[in-house]
Structure 1
Amino acid sequence: MLDTAKLLVLRAVAEHGSIAGAARELGYTRSAVSQQMSALERSAGVSLLIRGGKTVTLTPLGRRLIEHTERILVELRAAESALRQPGGVAGHLKIGIPFREGPPIMSTALTKVRQRYPRLEISLVAISDQQGAEEVKRGRLDVVILSTFGAGPPLPEPGLRQWILGCDPLSLCVPAKHELAELESCRIEQLREEPWIVYQNHPLSTVLLGLCSGSGFRPRVAATVGDVATALGLAGVGWGVTIAPDLTPGAPESSIRRVPLEAVDAKRYSVVVCRDGEQEIPEIDAVVTAVHAVTTRQVSP
């Protein structure tokens, strides 16, 4: 029978593409990882890895085994959840949240969870939307609340369970005294000559650049930032225009005007994520239920 521990090592090797990367993640020596992979291949009776210098790739059978591994892990986590003793919600959860991105109702919801379940200790960890799901998958966080951007709800990643809390539209954000501030709506092509505050290493970068490209121009960049809060702050002092989700507050809100964008389907989706199979753990179930109840009353469905 295949050894689950060795399957986890195989998954780490596959994701890092090297023995050394898997060893760093797992806290093993490279020799130990190599030995476990050799033992797994002997047990399976087939080659699972193609070794080439410092890099490693999976054979087709190796990739199929990884797919089965994800399903096995889901069932194991579900079994562990079922063995948890019923009773009051207690213990310790590490929850990731993108503090600077909002919407701020996320932290409000978690405050209500703490008030309702005083025996449950919650540690909040600042994460980016890009890294949140991976931190849960690796078991470094129990739950994350994050944002994704697009024309439709995101699809869950293998091994993860997600719930869509709601969504809010993207709007053009301009300085309060800008000539566009009083418009009821705006088209992207009207912004060809505007200085733009654009995003770097942020999901909104793809959306913004795609909208401009679709209208036949490249944005004239006035500033490049890494988060929405900074973009709104620069827009508020007249540095340029940008796009941002409606529920991410400006600082102060009176310094900017939000103008609806015509023919733009992209939205920000607020999502709560945990590892598939762990959603029945009482503490995680309590958090997911409470956060969903609070946010669905405040975020547009």
Structure 2
Amino acid sequence: MFDLRRLRLLHELSTRGTLTAVAEALSYSPSTVSQQLSQLEREAGVPLLRPDGRRVRLTAQGEALAAHAARMLAADERARAELERMRPSLSPVRIAVMQSAAHGIIPGALSLLAAREPDLRLEVVELAPEEGLFELAAYGFDLVVAEQYPGHTREHRPGLVRRILGHDAIRLALPHGDTARELGQLDDRAWVMEPPGTAAREWATQQCRAAGFEPDVRFELTDLTAHARLVAAGHAVGMIPDLVHGGEPAGLRLAELPGRPRRDVFTAVRSGSAERPALTVVQQALRDAFDAASPSA
């Protein structure tokens, strides 16, 4: 019989691409990962890996077994979820959240969980949506809170189930002394945006271009609270979702963008664990906390 732990290593290798990345993700040494995969090859009776320079790649048999491994791991999660439903206590939940959710949703969700399920252990790590969704598919987390900007769809990874928490309005953020009323009047301002390559940056740049100008981006920051502070201090203008300031934009003046855009804020879990009681409880708390925090929910 195949060892599920070794199948997990093969799945991780098919997802992450290198033995070093697998070792780092699972807190093993690369030699341990290599030894365990060699043992899996002996169990399978066929070559699963082949050298490729300093790296290894999956053979056709390795890719086939990795696909089976994904299904076996999902079946294992479904079995654990059923057992969890049959016992009074809930298993710990490890989640990855984007930065604005860490500020705007998590404190409220933790308060709700403390009242509803005081014995539930929730572990939270802040990660960008792209990284969080990848780590979820690779079994690094149980749940992810991420976002999707209008017209910018995120990759739907196989085996993940999304549920919308709500819709978060995105507005122009201006210093109180700025007299501009619409996006087209901001072609000569300094802008703060997220770094290139992020969905938020691509979306914001397209809004400016649609208004007839190329934004003068002088500040590139991942921290949206830092965006708000730069704007409040009069050094920049930006586009900030309501969730960042909870409807109380201290030091900011907000203006509507064309079309009154909203981003989708959603949770994602693996399909095999979607019915876990602990995840159901956490998702409900996140949804309730979002409703309480976002005036545009």
Q: TM-score range by the shorter chain?
A: 0.7 to 0.9
Which of residues 188, 193, 196 is equivalent to 2:191?
196
1:93: how far off? Answer: 3.3
- Rounded Cα–Cα distance in structure 2 between residues aligned with 1:124 and 1:283: 14
Which of residues 257, 264, 268 is equivalent to 1:269?
264
1:91: how far off? Answer: 5.0
1:61: how far off? Answer: 4.9
Corresponding position of 2:235: 239
Corresponding position of 1:167: 167
1:233: how far off? Answer: 0.9
1:296: how far off? Answer: 4.8
Corresponding position of 2:53: 53
- Rounded Cα–Cα distance in structure 2 between residues aligned with 1:55 and 1:213: 43
Code of the aligned partner of 2:228: L
- Rounded Cα–Cα distance in structure 1 between residues aligned with 2:272 and 2:286: 19
- Rounded Cα–Cα distance in structure 2 between residues aligned with 1:109 and 1:87: 23
Code of the aligned partner of 1:117: E
- Secondary structure at the counterpart of residue 243 of structure 2: coil
1:78: how far off? Answer: 0.3
Change (3 A) 1:256 1:297: closer
2:285 corresponds to 1:290: yes
**Is the contact between residue 50 and residue 59 of structure 2 (CA under 8 Å) also seen in structure 1?**
yes
Code of the aligned partner of 1:192: D
- Secondary structure at the counterpart of residue 84 of structure 1: helix
Q: Deviations over 1:121-165 (max 9, x none)?
A: 334444443433344445454333333334377564334333110
- Secondary structure at the counterpart of residue 279 of structure 2: helix
Change (3 A) 1:13 1:87: closer
**Is the contact between residue 272 and residue 288 of structure 1 (CA under 8 Å) also seen in structure 2?**
yes
Change (3 A) 1:259 1:61: farther
- Secondary structure at the counterpart of residue 169 of structure 2: strand
Corresponding position of 2:10: 10
Which of residues 203, 218, 224 is equivalent to 2:220?
224
2:273 corresponds to 1:278: yes
- Secondary structure at the counterpart of residue 253 of structure 1: coil
Code of the aligned partner of 1:93: V
1:120: how far off? Answer: 2.3
Q: Matched residues, percent identical?
A: 27
1:270: how far off? Answer: 1.7
Corresponding position of 1:76: 76
- Rounded Cα–Cα distance in structure 1 between residues aligned with 2:186 and 2:293: 31
Q: How many corresponding residue pairs?
A: 295
Code of the aligned partner of 2:230: L
Corresponding position of 2:179: 179
- Rounded Cα–Cα distance in structure 1 between residues aligned with 2:36 and 2:239: 49
2:265 corresponds to 1:255: no
- Rounded Cα–Cα distance in structure 2 between residues aligned with 1:121 and 1:37: 33
TM-score normalised by length of structure 2: 0.81
Q: Deviations over 1:165-213 (max 9, x none)?
A: 0111222111112121xx3xx34x4432221112226542222233334
- Secondary structure at the counterpart of residue 5 of structure 2: helix
- Rounded Cα–Cα distance in structure 1 between residues aligned with 2:263 and 2:10: 35
**Is the contact between residue 14 and residue 56 of structure 1 (CA under 8 Å) also seen in structure 2?**
no
Runs of 5+ consecutive residues of structure 1 not aligned to the other structure: none
- Rounded Cα–Cα distance in structure 1 between residues aligned with 2:11 and 2:67: 9
Code of the aligned partner of 2:232: G
Code of the aligned partner of 1:281: R
Please give the root-mean-square deviation of Cα atoms over the aligned residues, in Å: 3.3
Corresponding position of 1:114: 114
**Is the contact between residue 12 and residue 22 of structure 1 (CA under 8 Å) also seen in structure 2?**
yes
